[in-house]
Amino acid sequence: MSIFSRKLGRNPFKSSGSTDAAGSTDAADEPKQSMSAKAKAAASAAGDKARRLSATASQKARDARHSITGSKLDPNAPARVGFVGVSRDRKLVAHAQDDEDPRISERTASLARKIAQRADPPGWDDIADTTRKNEGLRAIKLPVCDLDGTTAYVVAFGMGYPVEKAQALCERLALMLGPMVDLDLEDAKSQGRTRCTPDGATRLREVLERELRDANSSAQLQQVANQVEAVREIMERNVEMLLDRGEKLDALNDKADELHGATKAFRQQARKLKRWHLMNQVKWGVAVGTLVTASVAIPIAVLAAA
């Protein structure tokens, strides 16, 4: 290999034709590599977008669940379940309604229909009606999505009924009625229908009525438990008020002791000041008396001597 060839970085044993062929092959591979890089970048961007959407949906679901479980029980509100239902694509398929408590009968039905018609979130949905004092109502919805649509399970109840129990009832309805709804939808498709069949709706209604009765069977006990809870809260407030009153009395006693000490010190200081004034008066009296006596006695002594 010559020095000239070593400087140019070429193999002197290769022909110029082979060098040109390799250069043309590299030039042909460059567009393929750039297209592959663009495809990878597009796939990565799509994956990032899907992960962001999934994270947003999960956060919404967590927020919805937190808003339900974090609600406070109202001991004065009705402690009954007034409405349970199943909806398909935001239309009620079957429902059961409690007519024993007139305070919540129609209002829970209206609230349940309202939440059933709302767009299905990626998690629990929850609305409330607090327009009447001591008669607050809530409604929760659990949507379950499939390839053909969304089946939602709705429970409406008074705010005196624990939200945890209502949520458990809603989940139990989803577990029990989900397979029944799927089978009935398959039968409806075979018949050319888009919704559940009348027989399927009847079977769903029977299950809903039974679950509604079971949920309300312990309503009286729940009402008593709510009253006990209210009495306990009142007693706790009374205890806190008594403790606060005791602390205020202790503080007042401390202030009275401080005032008594200050009064005693003032009395002692006033006694000292009064003694000082009296001693001054005695001193001045003695001095004046001595002066007067001297002024009278001296002339008399002079006259007597003369």
Q: What's the rounded mean pLDDT across residues 118-137?
A: 88
- Higher per-residue confidence, 304 vs 155: 155
Query: What pLDDT score was predicted for residue 10?
Result: 46
pLDDT at 261: 86
- With a cut of 70, say whether residue 3 has pLDDT above it: no
Q: What is the pTM of this model?
A: 0.53
**How many whole angstroms separate alpha carbon 158 and alpha carbon 252?**
47
What number of H helices and E strands is found in the chain?
6, 5
Give the pLDDT of residue 86.
94
Starting at the edge strand found earlier in the chain, the sheet holding 125-129 runs 91-97, 81-88, 150-158, 137-145, 125-129
Give the distance from CA 265 to its chain's centroid: 57
Kindly report the three-state secondary structure assignment for every residue of 181-215.
HHHHHHHHHHCCCCCCCHHHHHHHHHHHHHHHHHH
Task: Assign 207 a pLDDT band (cuts: 50, 70, 90).
Answer: very high
* 160 close to 226: Cβ distance less than 8 angstroms: yes
Q: What's the rounded Cα separation, in Å, for the pair 202 and 259?
A: 83
When pLDDT is averaged across residues 90-115 and rounded to a whole number, the result is 88
Non-local CB neighbours of 302 within 8 Å, separated by 6+ positions: none
Kind of pairing, strands 125-129 and 150-158? unpaired
Report the sign of the C-alpha dihedral through residues 47, 51, 54, 56, in that order.
negative
Query: Looking at the predicted structure, is the pLDDT value of residue 15 above 50?
Result: no
pLDDT-based confidence at 1, cuts 50/70/90?
very low
> Of 152-161, 232-241, 258-267, which has the strongest mean pLDDT?
152-161
Cα–Cα dist 96/85, whole Å: 6
What's the whole-number average pLDDT of the chain?
78
Lowest-pLDDT choice from 137-141, 212-216, 228-232: 228-232
The torsion region of residue 127 among left (phi > 0), alpha (psi -120 to 50) and beta comes to beta
Contacts of 76 (CB under 8 A, 6+ apart): 134, 160, 226, 230
Average pLDDT over residues 258-270: 87
Residue 94 pLDDT > 80 = yes
Least confident segment among 56-65, 85-94, 114-123: 56-65
So what's the pLDDT on residue 34? 62
CA 131 to chain centre: 21
Is pLDDT above 80 for 226?
no
User: For position 32, what pLDDT does the model report?
Assistant: 52
At residue 241 the predicted structure's pLDDT band, cuts being 50, 70 and 90, is confident
Q: Which pLDDT tens digit goes with each residue over 31-89?
A: 555 656 766 676 677 666 656 655 554 454 444 444 455 556 677 788 889 999 999 99
Mean pLDDT computed over 250-263: 87
Highest averaged pLDDT of the listed ranges 28-37, 201-210, 263-272: 201-210
Question: Quick one: CA dihedral 160, 128, 123, 49, positive or negative?
Answer: negative
Pick the more confident residue, 51 or 277. 277
pLDDT at res. 304: 76
Tell me the C-alpha to C-alpha distance, in Å, between residue 120 and each of 116, 145, 154.
8, 9, 12
Could you tell me the two tokens for 160?
């005196």
Where does the pLDDT of residue 118 fall: very low under 50, low under 70, confident under 90, or very high at 90 and above? very high
Higher-confidence residue: 38 or 140? 140
301 pLDDT higher than 90 = no
d(CA 77, CA 230): 12
